[in-house]
Protein backbone atom coordinates (compact mmCIF):
# COMPACT_ATOMS: atom_id res chain seq x y z
CA UNK A 1 0.00 0.00 0.00
CA UNK A 2 1.43 3.35 -1.05
CA UNK A 3 1.48 6.60 0.83
CA UNK A 4 -1.46 8.13 -1.05
CA UNK A 5 -3.68 5.04 -0.67
CA UNK A 6 -2.87 4.90 3.05
CA UNK A 7 -3.72 8.59 3.39
CA UNK A 8 -6.96 8.07 1.48
CA UNK A 9 -7.88 5.13 3.71
CA UNK A 10 -7.17 7.15 6.85
CA UNK A 11 -9.21 10.11 5.62
CA UNK A 12 -12.12 7.86 4.70
CA UNK A 13 -12.00 6.22 8.14
CA UNK A 14 -11.77 9.43 10.18
CA UNK A 15 -14.49 11.13 8.15
CA UNK A 16 -16.87 8.21 8.66
CA UNK A 17 -16.13 8.32 12.40
CA UNK A 18 -16.76 12.08 12.45
CA UNK A 19 -19.98 11.73 10.44
CA UNK A 20 -21.13 9.12 12.96
CA UNK A 21 -20.30 11.45 15.84
CA UNK A 22 -22.40 14.20 14.26
CA UNK A 23 -25.28 11.75 13.79
CA UNK A 24 -25.05 10.57 17.41
CA UNK A 25 -24.95 14.16 18.67
CA UNK A 26 -27.99 15.08 16.58
CA UNK A 27 -29.89 12.06 17.95
CA UNK A 28 -28.88 12.97 21.51
CA UNK A 29 -29.98 16.57 20.96
CA UNK A 30 -33.41 15.42 19.81
CA UNK A 31 -33.73 13.02 22.76
CA UNK A 32 -32.32 15.57 25.26
CA UNK A 33 -29.64 13.01 26.08
CA UNK A 34 -25.92 13.16 26.75
CA UNK A 35 -24.27 15.15 23.95
CA UNK A 36 -20.91 14.91 22.22
CA UNK A 37 -18.93 18.04 23.05
CA UNK A 38 -18.08 20.56 20.38
CA UNK A 39 -14.42 20.18 21.37
CA UNK A 40 -14.61 16.49 20.47
CA UNK A 41 -16.12 17.32 17.09
CA UNK A 42 -13.49 20.02 16.53
CA UNK A 43 -10.72 17.55 17.43
CA UNK A 44 -12.07 14.92 15.03
CA UNK A 45 -12.30 17.60 12.36
CA UNK A 46 -8.77 18.81 13.01
CA UNK A 47 -7.25 15.35 12.62
CA UNK A 48 -8.80 14.98 9.17
CA UNK A 49 -12.53 14.50 9.70
CA UNK A 50 -13.62 17.97 8.67
CA UNK A 51 -15.43 16.68 5.57
CA UNK A 52 -17.47 14.33 7.76
CA UNK A 53 -18.37 17.28 9.96
CA UNK A 54 -19.46 19.39 7.00
CA UNK A 55 -21.42 16.50 5.48
CA UNK A 56 -23.11 15.81 8.82
CA UNK A 57 -24.05 19.44 9.27
CA UNK A 58 -25.91 19.43 5.96
CA UNK A 59 -27.21 15.84 5.89
CA UNK A 60 -28.61 15.95 9.42
CA UNK A 61 -29.19 19.72 9.62
CA UNK A 62 -27.10 19.83 12.73
CA UNK A 63 -25.44 22.97 14.10
CA UNK A 64 -26.33 24.88 10.95
CA UNK A 65 -27.61 27.86 12.94
CA UNK A 66 -24.49 28.24 15.10
CA UNK A 67 -22.30 30.80 13.37
CA UNK A 68 -19.45 30.34 15.87
CA UNK A 69 -19.38 26.60 15.26
CA UNK A 70 -19.45 27.10 11.49
CA UNK A 71 -16.59 29.62 11.66
CA UNK A 72 -14.38 27.20 13.60
CA UNK A 73 -15.19 24.36 11.18
CA UNK A 74 -14.34 26.67 8.26
CA UNK A 75 -10.97 27.52 9.80
CA UNK A 76 -10.28 23.84 10.46
CA UNK A 77 -11.16 23.10 6.83
CA UNK A 78 -8.63 25.69 5.67
CA UNK A 79 -5.99 24.17 7.96
CA UNK A 80 -6.75 20.70 6.62
CA UNK A 81 -6.48 21.89 3.02
CA UNK A 82 -3.19 23.67 3.70
CA UNK A 83 -1.79 20.59 5.46
CA UNK A 84 -2.86 18.26 2.64
CA UNK A 85 -1.41 20.58 0.03
CA UNK A 86 1.89 20.78 1.89
CA UNK A 87 1.94 17.03 2.44
CA UNK A 88 1.14 16.09 -1.15
CA UNK A 89 3.27 18.80 -2.77
CA UNK A 90 6.37 17.93 -0.74
CA UNK A 91 9.38 16.71 -2.71
CA UNK A 92 10.27 14.39 0.16
CA UNK A 93 7.17 12.21 -0.21
CA UNK A 94 7.69 8.94 -2.05
CA UNK A 95 4.69 7.14 -3.50
Give residue 87's pLDDT. 86
- For residue 56, how many other CB atoms are within 10 A of its CB? 24
CB 70 within 8 A of CB 43: no
pLDDT reading at 62 higher than 60: yes
Give residue 95's pLDDT. 52
pLDDT reading at 31 higher than 90: yes
**pTM check: above 0.75:** yes
Distances (CA, A) of 75 to 46, 68, 81, 89: 10, 11, 10, 21
Cα separation, 38 vs 62, whole angstroms: 12
Amino acid sequence: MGFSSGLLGYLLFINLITLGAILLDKAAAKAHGSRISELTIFFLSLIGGVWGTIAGMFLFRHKTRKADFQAVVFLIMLLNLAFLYRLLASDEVYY
